[in-house]
């Protein structure tokens, strides 16, 4: 298996461990990732809030560069915000030739043309469906028997495009979590919003949303995520939320490839567990 | 389309003073619906609707078209994780958009409270692009630099400025640009503990805002030219 790889800006900064663990996990499974040369920002949620055209031109530029690479017709994206921005261009340009023309008028500035021939895939989609439990089970060295895991999907890998999971009741993470011996924490918060960038501009609102998620996860040993924004919101404000609610809201938050990688015997160093902001002592004792 | 005209008409004939009580008005007048529809059949409704729509400026027309089939059912409000913090619920916002109530819309904090989770878009029984409409309102506010949204607009523009300069966002530069643009020393202070933690982990580094390679400059310029028309 071979994919083009678009890490995105967060994976070079606040989500370094997502990048490292994705690469280590994929390498262990003999999946080749070919990083998109000279990739640029997808526009995140900022382009969309300032200019509709720019919010499509920035991801389209990257997809057009991906088409010029002869590695694969599929591009793997671990960050849900990047995934949706890139996916949006794939979806919208297929349905709206006029819009595609406009995008290509812009790309001409970079002597590029987007043909719509590259398929955007979220990391979770690839792990759950292309890799799947069948390839993970034989590689499990430290099974997580008895651990309770709360799968957290967030929003943008599920909605608005229901590509690989049920956008209302997501389940795609469950088979791979079970494949390493863990149980699924029963909850209905997996697809609820974490508040995204409200944490910076309207913290009082985002803290409320994160508090509800952390509270519902109580009883689980860890929450597993597939998005840098979700991960940061869930792990970085636990102390503040505990003080506010006067309840102990400490919870281990791991990226999916970190969690699966640990069970497959990858080292904490390869998975960059040292970079996580919230791994409880209780969880460490169980490793 | 005809349904929204129906609502416009319904509100007109009942002389609604407040724009927030449409739903109860509908309930109160459910018995009158038959007679309303008769008038509608007489094409009278089109005439009234045309006079109501007249004062709506073109700047809002595109956005109004996005939600013109709204039936005011409130599924969006019930699905919105941020509705609890909004002054207008999403349903009320769409009503104001349909009515062309620019004052009410652009004094409301509702659309910048949209965290783009797409729950409303997914569930809207009319299949309307509600999240995209929220974004269109953000874009309009940003374009016109509207004062009530200074904080949000500066946040997003600082982000895009960093991307424009370097091709990829530099998180510390972007936050520095944002804090500088806000000219308020208390905003950065609340982020100091997290900033120190992230610096310690090597996830971010101190960055003095710089010019950058300008790799995306031509794309930004072309977009600006196209948007100016």
In whole angstroms, what is the distance from residue B87 CA to residue A180 CA?
46
pLDDT at residue A71 in the model: 86
Nearest to B60 by CA among B123, B125, B119, B143: B143
For residue B47, pLDDT over 70 is answered with no
Q: Which helix (H) or strand (E) holds A120?
A: strand A119-122
Give pLDDT tens digits for B59-78: 799 999 999 999 999 999 99
* ipTM, 2 dp: 0.96
pLDDT at residue B52 in the model: 53
Cβ neighbours of A166 (radius 10 Å):
12
At B48, is the pLDDT very low, low, confident or very high (cuts 50, 70, 90)? low
A49: nearest CB among B139, B168, B219: B139
Inter-chain contact B138–A275, Cβ cutoff 8 Å? no
Which domains does chain B carry? 1-54 (no CATH), 57-144 (1.10.1060.10), 149-228 (no CATH)
Give pLDDT tens digits for A37-96: 999 999 999 999 999 999 999 999 999 999 999 889 999 999 999 999 999 999 999 999
Q: Which residues of B touch A49 (CB under 8 A)?
A: 135, 138-139, 142, 152, 156
Domains in chain A: boundaries:
2-122, 141-286
Question: What pTM value is reported for the model?
Answer: 0.88
Peptide bond into A160 cis (omega under 30): yes
Q: Which helix (H) or strand (E) holds A252?
A: strand A252-255
B203, two tokens: 């996830």
Q: Which of residues 102-161 of B touch A (CB under 8 A)?
A: 112-113, 115-119, 121-122, 131, 135-136, 138-139, 142-143, 151-153, 155-157, 159-160
For residue B4, pLDDT over 80 is answered with no
In whole angstroms, what is the distance from residue A279 CA to residue A238 CA?
11
pLDDT at residue B49 in the model: 55
For residue B196, pLDDT over 70 is answered with yes
Q: In what order do the strands lie in the sheet with A119-122?
A: A32-35, A2-5, A74-77, A119-122
A236: nearest CB among B112, B152, B194: B194
Q: Which CATH architecture has domain A141-286?
A: 3-Layer(aba) Sandwich (3.40)
Class of domain A2-122: mainly alpha
pLDDT at residue B26 in the model: 42
Note the Cα B101 to chain centre separation in Å. Answer: 13
pLDDT at residue B208 in the model: 80
> What's the whole-number average pLDDT of chain B?
82
In whole angstroms, what is the distance from residue A84 CA to residue B169 CA?
17
Give pLDDT tens digits for A102-124: 999 999 999 999 999 999 999 99
Q: Are strands A222-225 and A148-151 parallel, antiparallel or unpaired?
A: parallel
Inter-chain contact A109–B142, Cβ cutoff 8 Å? no
Residuewise pLDDT in 10s, chain A (287 residues): 999 999 999 999 999 999 999 999 999 999 999 999 999 999 999 999 999 999 999 999 999 999 999 889 999 999 999 999 999 999 999 999 999 999 999 999 999 999 999 999 999 999 999 999 999 999 999 999 999 999 999 999 999 999 999 999 999 999 999 999 999 999 999 999 999 999 988 999 999 999 999 999 999 999 999 999 999 999 999 999 999 999 999 999 999 999 999 999 999 999 999 999 999 999 999 88
Inter-chain contact B168–A14, Cβ cutoff 8 Å? no
Cβ neighbours of A146 (radius 10 Å):
10
Nearest to A15 by CA among A256, A265, A267, A287: A256
Q: Are both A2-122 and A141-286 of the same fold?
A: no
Supply the angle between the helices A228-236 and A203-216 in degrees, to the nearest 10.
90
Inter-chain contact B163–A198, Cβ cutoff 8 Å? no
Dmax (CA) of chain A: 58
Give the Å distances, CA to CA, from A111 to A104, A105, A107, B54, B218. 9, 10, 6, 44, 11
């Amino acid at each position: 298996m071979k994919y083009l790889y678009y890490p995105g800006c967060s994976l070079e900064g606040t989500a370094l461990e997502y990048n490292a663990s994705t690469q280590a996990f994929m390498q262990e499974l003999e999946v080749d990732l070919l990083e998109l040369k000279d990739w640029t920002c997808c526009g995140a949620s900022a382009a969309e809030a300032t200019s509709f055209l720019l919010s499509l031109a920035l991801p389209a530029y990257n997809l057009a560069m991906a088409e010029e690479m002869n590695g694969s017709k599929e591009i793997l994206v671990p960050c849900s915000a990047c995934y949706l921005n890139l996916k949006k261009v794939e979806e919208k340009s297929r349905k709206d030739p006029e819009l595609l023309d406009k995008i290509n008028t812009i790309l001409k500035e970079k002597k590029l043309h987007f043909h719509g021939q590259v398929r955007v895939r979220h990391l979770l989609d690839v792990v759950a469906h292309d890799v799947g439990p069948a390839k993970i089970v034989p590689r499990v060295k430290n099974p997580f028997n008895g651990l309770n895991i709360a799968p957290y999907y967030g929003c943008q890998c599920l909605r608005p495009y229901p590509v690989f999971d049920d956008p209302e009741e997501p389940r795609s993470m469950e088979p791979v979590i079970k494949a390493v011996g863990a149980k699924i924490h029963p909850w209905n918060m997996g697809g609820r919003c974490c508040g995204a960038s409200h944490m910076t501009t309207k913290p009082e609102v985002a803290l409320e949303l994160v508090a509800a998620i952390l509270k519902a996860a109580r009883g689980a040993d860890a929450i597993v995520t597939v998005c840098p924004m979700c991960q940061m919101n869930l792990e970085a404000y636990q102390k503040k939320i505990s003080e506010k609610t006067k309840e102990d809201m400490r919870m281990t938050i791991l990226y999916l490839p970190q969690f699966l990688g640990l069970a497959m015997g990858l080292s904490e160093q390869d998975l960059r567990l040292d970079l996580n902001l919230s791994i409880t002592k209780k969880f460490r004792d169980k490793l | 389309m005809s349904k929204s005209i129906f609502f416009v008409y319904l509100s007109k004939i009942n002389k609604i003073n407040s724009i927030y009580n449409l739903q109860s008005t509908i309930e109160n007048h459910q018995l009158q619906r038959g007679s309303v529809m008769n008038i509608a059949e007489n094409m009278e409704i089109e005439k009234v609707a045309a006079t109501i729509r007249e004062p709506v400026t073109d700047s809002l027309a595109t956005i109004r078209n996005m939600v013109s089939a709204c039936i005011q059912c409130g599924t969006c409000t019930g699905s919105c994780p941020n509705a609890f913090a909004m002054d207008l619920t999403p349903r009320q916002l769409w009503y104001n958009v349909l009515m062309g109530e620019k004052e009410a819309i652009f004094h409301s904090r509702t659309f910048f409270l949209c965290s783009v989770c797409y729950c409303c878009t997914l569930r809207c029984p009319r299949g309307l692009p509600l999240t995209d409409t929220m974004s269109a309102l953000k874009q309009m506010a940003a374009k016109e630099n509207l004062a009530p949204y200074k904080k949000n607009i500066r946040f997003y523009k600082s982000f895009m400025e960093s991307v424009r300069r370097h091709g990829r966002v530099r998180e510390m530069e972007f936050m520095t640009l944002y804090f500088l643009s806000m000219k308020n020393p208390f905003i950065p202070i609340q982020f100091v503990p997290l900033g120190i933690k992230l610096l310690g982990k090597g996830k971010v580094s101190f960055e003095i805002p710089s010019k950058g390679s300008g790799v995306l400059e031509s794309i930004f310029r072309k977009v600006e030219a196209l948007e100016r028309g």
